[in-house]
Every structure is written in C-alpha cells, then in structure tokens.
Amino acid sequence: GQQLNQSPQSMFIQEGEDVSMNCTSSSIFNTWLWYKQDPGEGPVLLIALYKAGELTSNGRLTAQFGITRKDSFLNISASIPSDVGIYFCAGRTSGTYKYIFGTGTRLKVLA
Amino acid sequence: NAGVTQTPKFQVLKTGQSMTLQCAQDMNHNSMYWYRQDPGMGLRLIYYSASEGTTDKGEVPNGYNVSRLNKREFSLRLESAAPSQTSVYFCATQSADRGFRNEQFFGPGTRLTVL
C-alpha cells in the first residue's frame, strides 16, 4: 500500500539541540498532520496543516506545509528528554476520508 | 470527556480463536477507523466507517470484520485469529467529514498476540 517516505528513520541528539525531520509523497496532499507516539501509547496529534506554505507552531515544535504540497517538515527546537518518542506524519488528498501515514522517525535524546 | 477508548488493552489468543476489539468515542465525530501498527510498517488502515451505517475496506482488510454499532461505537472482529494478526490495533475518529479541517484522534491501542 501507499506510504509516505519519512526521514530520518531514527536519530540520536544531545539535549538542547534542534531537530528536523520531513515527509515526502508522490501525491499532492491538502492536509498534513504530525503526531507523536510514546511507548505503549496511541499517537497524539501535535500540529495540523491545511495550506501550502503554511507554518504552524506548537510550543517548541514548528511544522511547515511544503509549497509543492508533496512534502512537510517538522522542527523541534532546544530538545529535552521528554521529546523522546516516534514522530509520524500523515497526509490526506482532497475528497477522501483516509489518511496515509509515514513510517515514523524515532527520536532519542541524550541528556 | 474520555475521547477515544479501546478495550481490552492487552489480549493473548490461540490460533483459530475469535475475539472482538471495542472502540467508543465521545467526540461526536462521524468517521471512525481501525489501524494496525507493526514494527517498521507505520499505521495501516484495516477498515473505516465514514458515517453511522457505512463501512469500507482499507488497505489490509483480510481476516477482519467490522460493525458500526452506532455513532459512538465501532468494533473490529477477528473470526479466526492467525499469528500474522499479532499487532497493536488502534481506533481513531475524525472531525469534520469532507470538510476543510479534519483531524484524526487516536485511542490508546489494543496489544494483541496470537500464539
């Protein structure tokens, strides 16, 4: 089935560093969602994007809807240990109820 | 306001046994979804229900059936469990149908092992 290409797959960073990750698709999307999943829990919605070029922040997190509408980016500034987890992107095309999910970026923060 | 709830949280089955995973939401959303999550595979859609009374197959429907009991509840049934169905199952609901803004919200998951 179709899935988004999410990168990197995993990353180790030092506490205080900034983090960047992205998702790319062969399809044009009209909505991008970013989730975080902690071990043993369900994904929690972080940011929703609805327009090409849109830049939205949620605390230290900032996400952008790529202008080609085929990609999206998530940045985390000044990472802290509780940022550890798996970050997923999800995209939706116009006229469908269904989202396609990326395979996730596993983030580990070294104190 | 519990959001999306799932029961049970954990389950172990033997091959060939049947069981039903329950999902309920108090968010008044029309659309509900069942996903499975396997290592390295992300979330894959099993079935979804765009509204009460309708259900449709997703990406990986084989071996599963669903029932949209009412607006609040959407259940997933395994009629004859197989080891390949060992996975974590998530239920999700979605705001605004076919609208401009629609976001999915997930339950805590059911961790299923089939021996």
B103·A33 Cβ contact <8 A: yes
User: How high is the pLDDT of residue A41?
Assistant: 93
- Angstrom distance (rounded) from CA B102 to CA B88: 24
- Angstrom distance (rounded) from CA B37 to CA B41: 7
Asked which of A57-61, A78-82, B87-91, B99-103 is least confident by mean pLDDT, the reply is B99-103
B101·A48 Cβ contact <8 A: yes
- Angstrom distance (rounded) from CA A58 to CA B75: 33
Q: Which of A40, A97, A101 sits opposite B43 (nearest CB)?
A: A101
Confidence class for position B1, pLDDT limits 50, 70, 90: low
Confidence class for position B62, pLDDT limits 50, 70, 90: very high
User: How high is the pLDDT of residue A109?
Assistant: 86
pLDDT tops 90 at residue B40: no
pLDDT tops 60 at residue B98: no
Q: Which of A35, A40, A97 sits opposite B50 (nearest CB)?
A: A97
Q: Cα–chain-centroid distance for residue B101?
A: 22
B103, B105, B110, B111: best to mutate for the A interface, most A CBs within 10 A: B103
Tell me how far apart the terminal alpha carbons of chain A are, to the nearest angstrom. Answer: 38
- Predicted confidence pLDDT, tens digits, chain A (111 residues): 566 899 999 999 999 999 999 999 998 999 999 999 998 999 999 999 999 999 999 999 999 999 999 999 999 999 999 999 999 999 998 888 789 999 999 999 887
Burial of B84-107, coded b for 16+ CB within 10 Å and e otherwise, reads ebbbbbbbbbbbeeeeeebbbbbb
Helices and strands counted in chain A (H then E):
0, 11
Which of A31, A109, A111 lies closest to A66 in space, CA to CA?
A31
User: How high is the pLDDT of residue B104?
Assistant: 92
